Structure 1
Amino acid sequence: MSLLDDVIDASGGLAHWNGLSRFTLHLSIGGTLFDGVGRANAFKDVTAEGSTRSQSIRFTGISGGTHSGSFQSDAITIETWDGKLLRFWRNPSLAFPHSSSAVLSDELHLVFFCGVAIWTHLSSPFLLARPDVDSEELPSTKDSWRRLRARFPSDLITLAPEQVFHFDPHGLQRRTDHDLFGMNVVHCSWAHESFGGVVVPTLRRARRLDRDGTVVAKPVLMDIEIFDALFE
């Protein structure tokens, strides 16, 4: 079996994933990317409901519980808790500048950023099985983690068009490297749990990566904690 086959099986299997259509998460998102623009509590203790088959996710309870925000590939919306439309962004783009503060201070951009991050986090590694995703295995690391470099098609919105995924000897995704806001970043994932047969890393932290490959311990740029998940 190929590395991709191994990691997909370790996460629950492609046949099982393809039989699902929806997910619901209870989670919190934080980190210095949010703190630095006055959004420290914008995604604390929120509900996210989305599709496993298309890039679509809706956050309820953002901005202190007063707003909802939805991410789709062709539109971002901000609404009141009872569904009144407040703001709308058609055909959003992840053409981020080098400064995160220029983006994440705006609530529409923040929903977009979190939507992309959470949807791809939840959909990996099944996302890598798409026929339009170009992947190749790289040499293993010194700690025996196997690696895949993935190049994503332009019609799939991701945080970076090229990313390197690291998997431990059990086939579980433990790290992802890519460029973001002019930095090299590394997302470390752990505390995997099975929810209805889908294995999900419930903790994820993004840190800066030095040019020599050293992970900078602080600050934590993005911190994701998934408390519960339901797949249907």
Structure 2
Amino acid sequence: MNTLAQKIIDAHGGLDTWKTFTGLTAHLKQGGALWDLKGHGGKLGETNVTVGLGDEWASHHPFGADGKVTLFRPEKVEIKDSSGRVLEELEAPRASFAGHTLETPWTDPQLAYFVGIAMWTYLNMPFLLAAPGVVSEQLSDWSENEETWQRLKVTFPKGIATHSTVQTLYVDADGLLKRHDYDVEIAGNTPGAHYIDGYTTVSGIKFPTERRIFPRQADGTSLPEPLVVSIDLSDITLR
């Protein structure tokens, strides 16, 4: 493994500790401009998410005011009622975004796919750096907010459903994540700069609890507005 990747994993609690768990649940409060833009304002303003650790799946509950539950896997998305009855499903969900731009509205299953890949990626990072087929490469350092951050280019294999094949992590001197860049392929390759803060420790693993995503410019700098997505996490539980 790349030495910087190893440093980042160790800083967040270490791979051996991480591998003792198979799932994670957290409470989310979310805001930002994206939800209204996609036609789903308020639907996931306050919800819970459960994700697999390693195994790629995620579930949001409730999904909207009527208490629906989602189940995301890369090959299929399901939306169920509170009793577990499947109300909607979408096979090969990634293909359904063909031709989308940032302004294209999403159906409920498409929203469930987006938040599924997003939260699974965020909550499994940085331990995804050790996943089979994931390749990492150290880039030149980056200066921002009077700090110098190390950068790691991460290339994902086709078997992992995430925002984009190539992503970039920024970490501080201790190896903790500060920023995470990607292009949202399912929304017209929209570039984002995702800022990370508010660390807490749960069962020996360090998790950021504050996430803020802004537009990213061609030179790598971010714009201060609009706030595209905000995510605040609490009640994180590993099992």
What TM-score, normalized by structure 2, do the two folds share?
0.91
Describe the shift of the 1:101–1:86 C-alpha distance in structure 2 as closer, same or farther (beyond 3 A).
Answer: farther
Mapped pair 1:9 → 2:23: no
| Alignment match, 1:178 | 182
1:215 maps to amino acid? S
Distance apart, 1:176 and its partner CA: 1.1
Q: Out of 195-204 and 155-164, give the one that drifted further.
A: 195-204
| Alignment match, 1:231 | 238
Mapped pair 1:121 → 2:122: yes
Mapped pair 1:217 → 2:224: yes
Distance apart, 1:65 and its partner CA: 4.4
Which ranges in structure 1 are unaligned for 5 or more consecutive residues? none
CA distance in 2, matches of 1:201, 1:65: 29
CA distance in 2, matches of 1:131, 1:67: 33
Mapped pair 1:34 → 2:38: no
Residues 152-163 of structure 1 mapped to structure 2, 5 A cutoff: 152-163=156-167
CA contact (8 A) 1:11 1:199 kept: yes
| Alignment match, 1:19 | 20
Root mean square deviation, CA, Å: 1.6
Identical amino acids, percent of aligned pairs = 28
Distance apart, 1:64 and its partner CA: 1.9
Residues 16-165 of structure 1 mapped to structure 2, 5 A cutoff: 16-93=17-94, 95=97, 97-104=99-106, 106-142=107-143, 143-165=147-169
CA distance in 2, matches of 1:112, 1:103: 13
1:174 maps to amino acid? K
CA distance in 2, matches of 1:99, 1:150: 24
Which ranges in structure 2 are unaligned for 5 or more consecutive residues? none
Q: For 1:63, what is the secondary structure of its paired residue? A: coil
Distance apart, 1:100 and its partner CA: 3.1
Distance apart, 1:171 and its partner CA: 0.8
Mapped pair 1:188 → 2:195: yes
CA distance in 2, matches of 1:145, 1:97: 35
CA distance in 2, matches of 1:77, 1:134: 31
Distance apart, 1:151 and its partner CA: 0.6
Mapped pair 1:198 → 2:205: yes
CA distance in 2, matches of 1:22, 1:178: 24
Superposed CA deviations along residues 192-223 of structure 1, whole A, max 9, x for unmatched, are: 11111111111111111122333111111111
CA distance in 2, matches of 1:175, 1:30: 18
Superposed CA deviations along residues 78-133 of structure 1, whole A, max 9, x for unmatched, are: 111222211011222165544234253x1100010001000000001100112311
2:192 maps to amino acid? V
Aligned residues: 231
Q: For 1:70, what is the secondary structure of its paired residue? A: strand
